[in-house]
Amino acid sequence: MTVLAHPGHWLVDAAYVLPVAAFLVWLGINELRTRRAKRAEGEADEGGGGSSGVVSPPPERSPNAG
């Protein structure tokens, strides 16, 4: 039978793991919200096409442009 350590050992491990896990969950939620906002913005601008994820290159500038 496996003997488990007393709760003090588990609490120390949790003190290290839980903030990291919470931060990763927060990053994931933030990424989902950003994607949904971009998709909604794209649909509002384009009339429902959504974004393809392709970024167009910047326009070329003439050498004389200041």
According to the model, what pLDDT value does residue 57 have?
A: 79
pTM of the model: 0.52
pLDDT in tens, the chain (66 residues): 566 777 888 888 889 999 999 999 999 999 999 999 999 888 776 655 555 667 777 778 777 765
Q: Give one DSSP letter per residue of 4-64, joined into a string.
A: PPPHHHHHHHHHHHHHHHHHHHHHHHHHHHHHHHHHHHHHHHHTS----SPPPPPPP--TT
Under a CB-based contact definition with an 8 Å cutoff, are residues 50 and 39 in contact? yes
According to the model, what pLDDT value does residue 31 have?
A: 96
DSSP 3: P
According to the model, what pLDDT value does residue 27 have?
A: 98
According to the model, what pLDDT value does residue 26 have?
A: 98
